[in-house]
């Protein structure tokens, strides 16, 4: 979590995205910007 916060607080327009347990999570460009999308309806 600290490394992710450091990237997002570095002043650039960074986006971090990953898929986990049937969800797509996108964080950024600010540390408070979070989007979660269901990509596997069976979950």
Residues 6+ apart with CB under 8 A from 25: 17, 18, 19, 34, 35, 36, 37
How many domains does the chain contain in total?
1
- Rounded CA gap, 15 and 24, in Å? 13
pTM listed for this prediction:
0.67
- CA separation for the pair 40, 1 (Å, rounded): 25
6 touches 12 (CB < 8 A): no
Range of the domain at 20: 1-40
pLDDT at 20: 94
Cβ atoms of 27 and 37 within 8 Å: the answer is no
The predicted-structure confidence for 1-43, as pLDDT tens digits, reads as follows 788 778 777 777 888 899 999 999 998 887 788 999 999 887 6
What is the reported pLDDT for 6? 82
pLDDT score recorded for residue 17: 92
| pLDDT at residue 3 in the model | 86
């Amino acid at each position: 979590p600290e490394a992710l916060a450091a990237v997002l607080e570095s002043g650039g327009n960074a986006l971090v995205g990953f898929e986990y347990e049937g969800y797509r999570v996108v964080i950024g460009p600010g540390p408070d910007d979070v989007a979660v999308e269901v990509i596997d309806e069976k979950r």
